[in-house]
Structure 1
């Protein structure tokens, strides 16, 4: 093999999804804060990274852009260029929580250095309200999607209870209880009817979602609210504030079991209810500033506009992700994992009804509405069609046009919502016990993104908020937590759960 052939052999094409993450106005980066119950030993952590993460091809490759072609090229990783340990003043004037938030906000305005692999780690040995030290992990989204990256990071970890064992992530598919004899009990005609009706629903929901997606790209915009940017470019240039709140996953499961719904249904209901509470407060502040205060109904507690509906963009993973064991094998052998890595994702639009008086009458109405919405999305191929169209547009018109279409979807909706399943029990990362993980994303034209990350018996609400439009994201976290508490109290009051 000649030297030029060998050089070309080192280059690997970048997937369409990864190229889309590099499009103008969609320069997406994942930024996650991981809290630990002990101080972090930088030398131990660097050694752990050298033995694991660095061996993964994406974390030891440069992204080369030449003549509109995107390729990965393996390179030598210099640990000092990726792991940063700032010298912190132990007598700092403000709290550790505020320091970490300010530090992450500054990172959201700092572009990634394209001359090295697109990831970096910041070790902050500062005590916060939820941890004795934190680690901030910033990764360009073109390296991989959230599910793949979660599996990769957990492949570097071990169970706290068994230091030799890899963590376990619960699977939604395996968690479903199948009724093996249910289909046998049904008559032939009934089974045929159910099958035909299911096909009809899939076709109808898919067509509806595709039309909604096309309308959103062309003209359909969410109405202005205090959490929606007027122009997408404003959100790209403004700093983001990253905050989190830890709530009980057991409380979520209690509501789930009582209402016979999924955890995703409950989480979506919490999001709708929390946003209703928060927006009611924001609209109330606006009413307080009107000039004709004498005509205001001061006794009214509901300040929300009537029939207010906003939409959330939800990103779906379209292929089975690599298991933790697969990721561990890749890092051990320093080989590429074919077919289970990258950004194979589709976008789905979820409507959220913002209403306060309904919640006051019955907090569980948000969960019922969320279940109805999610059931329809499960019987739809709209997100797969969206991915196919984006891939075709990228092939025909290039990265810039396809990126512009995706950017329109985010500009014309209000927020992004996601839920990632984490390990079932507590873990250690290179010998450091993990307290929580709170992932988020920046680099897209929205003012708000809400992530939910499970970890053991905890559910972490991780939020990235535009500092100008949402100056009090902690209040929104409070409203989400209160909404879950109201739902828990409602199912107990209605007698929908029984305690031993």
Structure 2
């Protein structure tokens, strides 16, 4: 699928499949145009691995998916051009036989190591194409007991169907609370957004000249940071590349397999560090990422130069929907108005610097991450990148827009995301979910880092080029060990503060 349009073959209203590239007829029912954001991600797939606590009841899952997931607009549509050449979403019939897949794995491999057998199967999906004459999503059900789960469900969906926010909403609509199967799962409260844009409302006239000056100054700083970030964005597209490191994609990685590995970390430990140094959960996770990548880099490279200048950046997707939209979508789904939920890709991007360094105090990774993230919050970089995608497509066409997006990916090192999940255990059509591990297959990146919270855990999920990272489980260990070291340092800081107060 890389660098080519999605196929437009379909069967609509009982008609025979159209030839690829043919425009839609006037008699056919066409949906809304495919957004520029959706067309930017034509090479990307989202994969969600879910561990289930019971064997897969295939008929129940098929029926549930067909009744709920397949009824959403994006999940029963394909992309086709109308008579004016505009790419639109075209409704089509969904056959569950094509979308719910129960593969047969090698019995010897399963008997030898069931965890690796499941992992190998998920990795194989990264090189398998999808039939573009059908809606671009699949559910794979692996009824194989592993060390963490009794069975595994794997959702593979093309990124054009939605971003992480909309897919989380969709998955929530397919689950129910394990404590009360009659209701949707409880979600955490909406996050409070911070930064210069949100932190300084206009002061009242009685506040005085000094406070008003500070308010004006905050917007001058905001404007300056935005100009700098926009300049760096254009420089990245044109010539500014990250330093060549162990994490840089080597050669043509388009058709190399991506392996997905994941592990559960303690959300309580993350929150403990958050409280200890007065930061956010996201700050802690960025700090853990810096620490883990640094530990892996120095161990594998043998480099002892700690003052070396290493440019390593992550593309951080940011949800542009209001912070209350997830809860609003949940309420609409609960009230039977799921069709009113706005799907698609409503995201912007941040070029977030990651730091390869050695610190005697592990908390310095989090402190420096907080400084970096706070700086990025004082900028309109996210809004600009979203608008820029729309403008590039309108002015220069989809090929130019996709080329610019691909250069941004190829000139940076990795992608990083953090997604909030339910705060209580949920059931997927009667199957208790043990863990949720989402990630993205990105051809141009050798490593993608995702965090997913669920109940009292946060799942670290790595999607890596298996040829470049044959020791990816060691890298996964580095993330677990880094959080432990940071948490131990935070415990020591708490004790010292307590003794000083005493």
What's the TM-score, normalizing by structure 2?
A: 0.87
1:109 aligns with 2:112: no
Residue 191 to residue 173, structure 1, CA distance change in 2 (3 Å) = farther
d(CA) in 2 for partners of 1:147, 1:335? 15
Residue 472 to residue 172, structure 1, CA distance change in 2 (3 Å) = farther
Partner of 1:58: 74
Residue 347 to residue 182, structure 1, CA distance change in 2 (3 Å) = closer
- SS of aligned partner of 1:247: strand
The residue correspondences of 1:226-237 to structure 2 (distance < 5 A) are: 226-231=246-251, 234-237=252-255
Unmatched 5+ residue regions in structure 1?
288-301
Partner of 1:315: 317
1:217 aligns with 2:237: yes
Work out which of the residue numbers 129, 132, 153 in structure 1 matches 2:150: 132
- SS of aligned partner of 2:263: strand
Partner of 2:292: 274
The residue correspondences of 1:277-426 to structure 2 (distance < 5 A) are: 277-284=295-302, 302=304, 306-320=308-322, 322-323=325-326, 326=329, 329=332, 336-337=339-340, 340-356=342-358, 358=359, 361-426=360-425
d(CA) in 1 for partners of 2:311, 2:453? 28
- SS of aligned partner of 2:32: strand
Partner of 1:19: 39
1:476 CA drift (Å): 1.2
**Is contact 1:410–1:444 with CA below 8 Å preserved after alignment?**
no
Work out which of the residue numbers 64, 70, 78 in structure 1 matches 2:87: 70
1:258 aligns with 2:261: no
Partner of 1:293: none
1:36 aligns with 2:70: no
Q: 319-328 vs 476-485, which deviates more?
A: 319-328
1:325 CA drift (Å): 5.8
d(CA) in 1 for partners of 2:328, 2:242? 42
- SS of aligned partner of 1:494: helix
1:344 CA drift (Å): 2.0
1:181 CA drift (Å): 13
- SS of aligned partner of 1:173: coil
Q: 59-68 vs 202-211, which deviates more?
A: 59-68
Unmatched 5+ residue regions in structure 2?
1-14, 16-23
1:197 aligns with 2:217: yes
Partner of 1:48: 64
1:399 CA drift (Å): 0.7
1:157 CA drift (Å): 0.7
Residue 80 to residue 180, structure 1, CA distance change in 2 (3 Å) = same
Partner of 1:292: none
- SS of aligned partner of 1:308: coil
How big is the alpha-carbon RMSD for the aligned residues of Structure 1 and Structure 2?
A: 2.8
1:131 CA drift (Å): 1.0
**Is contact 1:440–1:450 with CA below 8 Å preserved after alignment?**
yes
1:475 aligns with 2:495: no
The residue correspondences of 1:84-103 to structure 2 (distance < 5 A) are: 84-88=101-105, 92-103=110-121
Residue 184 to residue 96, structure 1, CA distance change in 2 (3 Å) = farther
- SS of aligned partner of 1:347: strand
1:156 aligns with 2:168: no
d(CA) in 2 for partners of 1:186, 1:59? 55
- SS of aligned partner of 2:479: helix
Partner of 1:454: 453
1:348 CA drift (Å): 1.0
